[in-house]
Amino acid sequence: MEIRKINSSVITDTVKKLFMDMNYFIGEDILTALKNAEETEISPTGKSVLAQLIENHKIAAEEEVPICQDTGMAVLFVEYGDKVVIENGSFEEAVQEGIRRAYIDGYLRKSVVTDPVFDRVNTKDNTPAIIYTSIVPGDKIKILAGCKGFGSENMSSIKMLTPSAGIEGVKKFILDTVKYAGPNPCPPVVVGVGIGGTFEKAAMLAKKATLRPIDTKNPNERYAALEEELLTEINKMGFGPAGLGGINTAIGVNIETFPTHIAGMPVAVNICCHAARHKETEI
Amino acid sequence: MKKINLPLTDDAINELKAGDSVLISGVMITGRDAAHKRLYELIEKNEELPVNIKGEVIYYVGPAPAKPGHAVGPAGPTSSYRMDKYTPALLDRGLKGMIGKGARNQEVIDSMIKNHVVYFAAIGGAAALISKSIKKVEVLAYEDLGTEAIYQFEVEDFPAIVAIDAQGNSVLAK
């Protein structure tokens, strides 16, 4: 395969459009799930909340304004083809410039602060974005991206379970995490679960799981069944839309897994609000 | 749907019961994490606050920037529990209402009963919809905080639900 040259401005423009679009236009998977939830919801308040969320998506799309004021911290999973060479700049800087332009030109909220503990001064352009890159064969760049609000991010958790905990331990930790989050993370939520790998791999898998469309299943039958079982259990908790009661506390549970160590079974739960904004593109 | 006007009177607060859907009109102030921290530090030192909070309703929000021609950008509620640490001190100084999303701790609820205060829930994530009810925006204090500054919002039929009333009854699912 030939070397493919890509101008850094192409990366910047693509990232900019990706983040503006995902903030204005909710994905079909989420909108369909909210409409289904509105139909099934038995709590009148819950039903009314869902109707308002659907109306909110309509307004955001029509006026091209953000769905939620928390336009999040930008996270990108990149599959970078090993035949690609970036011209006129670096890949990293081109992505950050795309984020900068999306958040400034797109009227998105700038929510990132420099130092996490001492200064906490806003960077004013929502950079830096968090970029996870893997090198793959080929001459394409694939980007899976999300903008993660922190109302739900703060309700996420990780636990280094050990093998004896078994499937019951996994289920308990996931359900306990959702229960502890209660009404805070803007239910109905999307629950991203990462199981296996190391400490940080499980967390990354959980994040990636929140970016997978909720109308898809884990390709492994046993995990697909677990996704469904957990969704049913979560919806028995009663938190409901906006935490005001009802049978729709979650609209999706996505599980991603990875091989792990003989001594371990890490489980990470990344909770995402109902405004689960994710988008994929290929350059 | 009950229509209520700001500022809230004690009689009006008495009428509000957990679970009531309301449409709020009038003038409210805003503030979230960083502004609360600053106000709290001033109260600790027994100093004057840069804004009057007595009798006011505060909305926990950090709006997105307004597009040209819009009064405000999308402006939905942020999680209230992060303000819990600072809230009793503000209620002791006369704050009468709060608007946010999600749960409050017992100290806040006890202080709400003591100070006769109501807590409303707005719908998290319905930011574009909610912004339609915000007619006029002005910075009151801490402009350096950007989206986290204290603003004054003039609202008309701002949709909310009484989440915890002044008697401490809650509609939030446990």
Whether B173 is in a domain gets the answer no
Q: Residue B120 CB: number of other CB atoms within 10 A? A: 26
Hey, where are the domains in chain A? Answer: 4-23+67-148, 150-282
Is residue B45 assigned to a domain? yes
Interchain CB distance below 8 Å, B161 and A244: yes
Domain-embedded: residue B172: no
- Gap from B162 CA to chain A (nearest CA, Å): 10
User: Confidence class of residue B172 from pLDDT cuts 50, 70 and 90?
Assistant: confident
| pLDDT on residue B174 | 72
Under an 8 A CB cutoff, do A186 and B65 touch? no
Interaxial angle between packed helices A28-40 and A44-63, expressed in degrees from 0 to 180 and rounded to the nearest 10: 150
Residue B169 inside a domain? The answer is no
Mean pLDDT of the residues in chain A: 97
Nearest CA in chain B to A153: B79
Prediction ipTM score: 0.93
> What does the pLDDT look like over A2-14, one tens digit per residue?
999 999 999 999 9
Average pLDDT rounded to a whole number, residues A110-139: 96
pLDDT of residue B142: 97
Distance of CA A102 to the CA centre of its chain: 18
Tell me which of B36, B79, B81, B99 to substitute to probe the interface with A (most A C-beta atoms closer than 10 Å): B79
Contact B125 A68 (CB under 8 A): yes
Range of the domain at B14: 2-164
Q: How far is B170 from chain A (nearest CA, A)?
A: 10
* Total domains in the fold of chain B: 1
Whether B97 maps to a domain, the answer reads yes
The mean pLDDT of B117-126, rounded to a whole number, is 96
Mean pLDDT to the nearest integer, A138-143: 98
Give the closest-approach CA distance of B56 to chain A in angstroms.
Answer: 23
Per the domain annotation, does B170 fall within a domain?
no
Whether residue B143 lies inside any domain: the answer is: yes
Average pLDDT over residues A82-100: 97
Contact A244/B124, CB-based, under 8 Å? no
- The CATH number of the domain holding residue B123 is 3.20.130.10
Tens digit of each residue's pLDDT (9 = 90 or more) over A15-57 = 999 999 999 999 999 999 999 999 999 999 999 999 999 999 9
Q: Quick check: B173 pLDDT over 80?
A: no
How much is the pLDDT for B1? Answer: 85
Digit-coded pLDDT (tens) for B6-29: 999 999 999 999 999 999 999 999
The alpha carbon of residue B18 is apart from the nearest alpha carbon of chain A, in Å, by 11
Within a domain: B144:
yes
Q: Which residues of B touch A (CB under 8 A)?
A: 19, 21, 34, 61-67, 70, 73-76, 78-79, 81, 101-103, 121, 123-129, 131-132, 146-147, 159, 161, 163, 171-174
- Please tell me the least confidently modeled range out of A193-202, B131-140, B164-173: B164-173
